């Protein structure tokens, strides 16, 4: 069984993430969407439990997709999932440079794990969680970039913050 682990903060999950998982679900027997519990480099607009719930809701139509959280090294988590595949998305050249460094580091940590990259659909390549959070923070309409449940959660988050 080919199990791919797709890690990210999903803060929030975007239409780009969804597209990638939908396409990957036809390539792998199982996909574990691994929601990072705490990322030292990023602040989370949404708490872990809410990110998990939203990710489950958005991807619930895919039978071979499971959503789990983790807060240890990705290579360790991948091994715990009985996988040898990390799935990543590439949107830009800047993404490639960062991802290339991660591949090298992950290979040193666990040589048996491979990384597979998918590019987003062209009409989704500009979407990032960071930009979605910024638009939402200023009260902008994010409905073109995220599932309706995510747009609602982000709007509620903004109301609670004021």
Q: Report pLDDT digits (tens) over 119-162.
A: 989 999 999 999 999 999 999 999 999 999 999 999 987 665 55
3-state secondary structure string across 27-78: CCCEEEEEEECCCCCCCCCCCHHHHHHHHHHHHCCCCCEEEEEECCCHHHHH
What's the pLDDT score for residue 77?
A: 98
pLDDT over threshold 90, residue 39: no
Residues 14/120, Cβ–Cβ less than 8 Å: no
pTM of the model: 0.92
**Average pLDDT estimate for 44-66:** 94
* 65-70 sheet: strands from edge to edge: 65-70, 30-36, 3-8, 85-89, 114-118
Residue 41 is predicted with a pLDDT of 53
Mean pLDDT along residues 67-88: 97
The pLDDT value given to residue 42? 53
> Which residue in this structure is represented by tokens 């360790």?
76
Taking only the tens place, the pLDDT of each residue in 79-120 is 999 999 999 999 877 788 889 999 999 999 999 999 999 998
Residue 68 zone, left/alpha/beta (φ > 0; ψ -120 to 50; rest): beta
Query: Is there a contact between 110 and 80 (Cβ–Cβ < 8 Å)?
Result: no
| pLDDT over 70 at 5, yes or no | yes
40, pLDDT greater than 60? no
**Looking at the domain 3-125, which fold is it?**
Rossmann fold (3.40.50)
2 in helix, strand or coil? coil
Rounded CA gap, 160 and 80, in Å? 37
Confidence of residue 67 (pLDDT cuts 50, 70, 90): very high
8-state DSSP, 144 = T
């Amino acid at each position: 069984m080919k199990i791919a682990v797709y890690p990210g903060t999903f803060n929030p999950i975007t239409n780009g993430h969804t597209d990638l998982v939908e396409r990957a679900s036809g390539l792998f027997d199982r996909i574990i969407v691994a929601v990072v519990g705490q990322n030292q480099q990023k602040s989370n607009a949404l708490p872990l439990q809410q990110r998990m719930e939203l990710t489950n809701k958005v991807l619930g139509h895919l039978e071979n997709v499971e959503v789990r959280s983790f807060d240890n090294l990705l290579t360790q988590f991948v091994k715990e999932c009985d996988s040898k595949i990390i799935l990543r998305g590439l949107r830009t050249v800047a993404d490639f440079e960062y991802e290339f460094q991660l591949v090298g580091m992950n290979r040193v940590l666990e040589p048996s794990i491979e990384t597979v990259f998918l590019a987003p659909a062209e009409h989704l390549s500009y979407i990032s969680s960071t930009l979605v959070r910024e638009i939402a923070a200023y009260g902008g309409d994010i409905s073109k970039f995220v599932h309706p449940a995510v747009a609602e959660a982000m709007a509620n988050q903004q109301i609670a913050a004021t």
